[in-house]
Amino acid sequence: MKTIQLHVKAPEVITLTEMLLKMGYSVTVSNVFTTAVDEAVKSFQSQHNLVVDGIVGIKTWSRLFEKNSQLIQHNDKLLSEQDLIDFANEFQLELAAIKAVNEVESSGKGFLIDGRPKILFEGHIFWQELERRNLEPEQYTNPENQDILYKKWTKKYYLGGQKEYDRLQRAIRLVPGLNLTDAANAAASWGVFQIMGFNAIPIGYDSIDSFVGKMYLDEREHLFAFGRFLKKNNLVVLLQNNDWATFAYRYNGEGYKVNKYDEKLARAYQKYSA
């Protein structure tokens, strides 16, 4: 693991924040080393007889992994370079284009450190899923669940990492006596390529439950789902032409502008092309 510190933006920060969160520190899982992460790191260093400088180098990483030894590393679940090469050849795409999407969608990581697939729960999609089931979302809205059920997209309720599963479970239990598992799973994006659950049946899975089960297996299943999604939605040509803005809109919706998703893809593509 590389050395990271305050203001660094890197995939390693995701692993760091997942570990800190698991140990009870108040941090948000992301790839940005914020002041809150800096404070948590310094607290961890102080409590474990390390130099308190906020720099996560070999000594701090070693102690972090030692304290998180109960968390199994699922290396057998990860994509290999050859997996991406084979995919690029199958779809007649540049390897750099696939690597760009792989990096930007989930910082190149499809699983949490506890072995569950990475998810992001979308409360506005959950709203729509309830409507599709002839339920009226308005009657279930209150201050206690405003972070899992809302009408318009917002990222202010994202918690990242394992806490997204907390939001998912609360959505499943929203209506006592009513099984909302499918609706909640449909409202989450899954794995390396963050495919929304509601796409499961349209792209060829027997059910949402079947799709979710596959997402738990490995990142090759995530890649397979991504390929199905590209085919179903005629997105291959956009990647072939490096049309990042249109791809971002078709893949992530209108929110791509707020997240500068197209710009991130273009930068990642240039990096891998070089």
Crossing angle of helices 58-67 and 11-22, rounded to 10°: 40
Name all domains of the chain by residue range, CATH numbers in brackets: 11-67 (1.10.101.10)
Helix (H, G, I), strand (E, B) or coil at 189: strand
Crossing angle of helices 123-132 and 163-172, rounded to 10°: 20
Residue 61 CB neighbour total at 10 angstroms: 18
pLDDT of the residue at 123: 97
pLDDT one-digit tens code per residue, 154-187: 989 998 888 899 999 999 999 999 999 999 999 9
pLDDT of the residue at 75: 61
pLDDT of the residue at 252: 85
Cα torsion 231, 199, 13, 163 to 10°: value is -170
Crossing angle of helices 11-22 and 35-47, rounded to 10°: 60
Using 50 as the pLDDT threshold, list the residues of the chain that sit under it.
none
**E-strand spans in the chain?**
119-121, 188-190, 195-196
DSSP string, 58-127: HHHHHHHHHHTTTSPP-GGGS--HHHHHHHHHHTT--HHHHHHHHHHHHTT--B-TTSPBPEEE-HHHHH
